[in-house]
Amino acid sequence: MALEELIGQVLDDKYRLEEKLGQGGMGAVYLATHLGTERSVALKIISPQFMRHPEFVERFKREAKAAGRLRHPNVVNVTDFGFAQLEKERIAYLVMEYLDGCALSEVLSEEGKLPLKFTVDILEQVCAAIDVAHQEGIIHRDLKPDNIWLQPDGFGGYNVKVLDFGLAKLGETPPPRQNGEAIFESEEVCFIQKFFNKSVAETQPDTVATPNAPVKISSSFTAITAVKLEQNIGDSQTKQSSLRIESSLSDEIETQVQPSLAYDEVKTQVQLTRNTADIKENLALVTHVGAVLGTPIYMSPEQCKGEKLDARSDIYSLGVIAYQMLTGKTPFSGDTQSLIAQHTQTNPQHIKEIEQNIPKAVSTLIMSALAKNPAERPATAAAFSNALRARSEGTLTLLRQSISLYNNHFPTFIKVSLIGYAPVIFFSMLGIFNHRVLEHVLPRPLAIANDALLGCLIGIGSIFAEIVIHGGLIPVVAQLLITPLYPVRIKPILLGLKSKILALFTTKMLGDLFTMLWSILFVVPGIKAAIDYSLFKPVIIMEGLKNKEALARSKALVKRLPWVTMKVLAIKVFLIVSLAVNLCSTTEYKFTVNKGINLTASHPSYPSIFSLIVMIVVTPLMSITLALLYFKLRQAGGETLKEALGQFAEETPRSKWQLRMRDRSRLYNRFSSR
């Protein structure tokens, strides 16, 4: 029965086929109606002629199994799988949710290149789906814009669905190797193996075809090139059939290269085979398989080489897609053999050379995803997504997030700030009292000494305030990222900070010493040192490092996004200088020396009440910004929020429903600070 004749048929008394939506190498997809609920579904059917070959039925089962194992909002939902009898034909079908919208390939064909924000939003959802698949031991192996579906969410955005896990690798044990060479052992290649053994046996009667022997293919007929087998069928017809044994079969389909069966020999054997009808059918069958065994333009180098694949092969494909979305073209182009050669041997043109407006950090990340060596790529899809999000967001985004967080939890942050500034407030009040009352009562030398002492105490109190506010608000921000609905309890946070005050103080002194030494020797290195050591507080609080280790870690984090860090610190310095210059009062002292000479000396004294209020209000905002910058820099390195929060995340109290939501949360496992 032809695929077109299935329209109007009812499968298993449940699904009525309404219309054909598309057709691929192994079958077709129909719009169908579930009779029980009258709900529209997408129903994929394997072509009836393939049902005679168990190898392809197994492939279809594997697709159902791969899709059924995945439960994620960004993976197309598979609801049913089964076999149905239509007249004399037995067919297999897979039922999926019916999606509105269009494929990413359609968007790219009309728009060319896409904006960075749109690209990041789409890839972030794709990475979420792929990361879940990788955690289940499933490698997609055929990621491309055709398999990325954009479904309108009703709010101006898109829900992304990753389609077609038909080539998915389910984490089976890889095939054995003999003498460093790989053997074809997959269902598809078992069929190809039987076909070629049969062809050789018929044309060479002296050759015994061993049913389980590996296929021997010479270097001129490799599994990484789309080789065309031209065959003459019949006396009056000449037809071509393309055998594509592409490396998307990965470790399941690998090549044992031997010179015993060259391309010309295979071609001759096919042409001389007596059973031309059988060969025609089998070659057509192989051609259909090849059509779904991956797309060379998006395949990783190791996939092209037929090597064992892991999750980083999909990362390469994601890099190709990201490259195409931002530049309007793929890294490589050409025929299959040319593509494979380029994937394995040629470095792509750098994105910055094509699109100058793309941030350098973003282009560097995408180029790392296209590295020939898998070890040089982002380790996971989540790492790639996290880094892409962090590197695409600038300083203004960070400030908006800080202001929003501060506004939503203003009372909590003000309480911590008041606790931190309590010593400064106390000594400032004493200083104001000293300035207005005691200065006129005490002898001048004693008043000056008392004034100097209070000034020192205010300075020490300021250091204490900086440590308490910055150190205390970091875990507050962390808790709000984990459980925004859970009330923040300040007392446990301050008690936890108590054990780290010494480390914060000693590390600050060490960092200030290094900065001062560099500033004395060279001004620019001194400024750089101040920037490099600016994140030691969150490093101590969140990672437990101190002194030189904390300073080195801070430097490594800053290196990920130096310009963003510099801009944030520039804003902080501007605010501090403004407060110091404009909001502090001064004290004047008059001295009379010999011969009637009068001198007047003045120096900054105690913060005014107004300046104290401003510092109490502004300092938490700077602390929140630095805390978010710390998490952003960790995200830029590909870390998840779970990794960034470490043991703190496990210790944060929360209710049972919050624990369930946290464990299932894309935010917690992937860290998106939007």
State percent of the chain over pLDDT 70. Answer: 69
pLDDT digits (tens, 9 = 90+) for 582-611: 545 555 545 455 555 554 545 445 567 777
The answer, yes or no, to whether residue 552 has pLDDT greater than 70, is yes
Q: What is the per-residue pLDDT for 650?
A: 60
Instruction: Specify the higher pLDDT residue, 67 or 157.
Output: 157
Region label for 34, one of left (φ > 0), alpha (ψ between -120 and 50) or beta (otherwise): beta
Q: What is the per-residue pLDDT for 413?
A: 93
566-578: burial string, b at 16+ Cβ within 10 Å, e else = bbbbeebeebeee
Q: What is the per-residue pLDDT for 203?
A: 40
663 to each of 132, 475, 480, 517, how far by Cα in Å? Answer: 13, 20, 16, 47
* CA atoms of 379 and 371, how far apart (whole Å): 12
Selection from 623, 626, 585, 618 nearest residue 602 by Cα: 585
Q: What is the per-residue pLDDT for 605?
A: 54
Q: Read off the tokens for 284.
A: 């057509």
pLDDT digits (tens, 9 = 90+) for 618-641: 999 999 999 999 999 998 988 876
User: For residue 220, what pLDDT band results from cuts at 50, 70 and 90?
Assistant: very low
Q: What is the per-residue pLDDT for 651?
A: 59
pLDDT digits (tens, 9 = 90+) for 471-484: 889 988 988 887 77
CB neighbour class for 50 (10 Å; exposed up to 12, middle 13-18, buried from 19): buried
Which H/E stretch holds residue 670?
A: helix 666-670
The answer, yes or no, to whether residue 285 has pLDDT greater than 60, is no
CB neighbour class for 352 (10 Å; exposed up to 12, middle 13-18, buried from 19): middle
* CA atoms of 391 and 360, how far apart (whole Å): 9
Q: What is the per-residue pLDDT for 217?
A: 32
Instruction: Specify the higher pLDDT residue, 406 or 276.
Output: 406
- Most confidently modeled of 63-72, 172-181, 254-263, 643-652? 63-72
pLDDT digits (tens, 9 = 90+) for 151-173: 998 888 889 999 887 555 554 43
Q: Read off the tokens for 445.
A: 């030398």
* CA atoms of 41 and 159, how far apart (whole Å): 18
Q: What is the per-residue pLDDT for 646?
A: 61
558 to each of 56, 385, 623, 629, how far by Cα in Å? Answer: 52, 19, 16, 9
Q: What is the per-residue pLDDT for 344?
A: 93
Please check whether residue 550 is in contact with residue 507, taking contact to mean a CB–CB distance below 8 angstroms. yes
Instruction: Specify the higher pLDDT residue, 245 or 619.
Output: 619
User: For residue 129, what pLDDT band results from cuts at 50, 70 and 90?
Assistant: very high
Q: Which parts of 409-522 fold into alpha helices (H)? A: 410-436, 444-482, 490-498, 501-521
CB neighbour class for 579 (10 Å; exposed up to 12, middle 13-18, buried from 19): middle
* CA atoms of 40 and 95, how far apart (whole Å): 10
* CA atoms of 321 and 344, how far apart (whole Å): 17
Q: What is the mean pLDDT of residues 385-405?
A: 92
What's the mean per-residue pLDDT of the chain? Answer: 75
Which H/E stretch holds residue 29?
A: strand 27-34
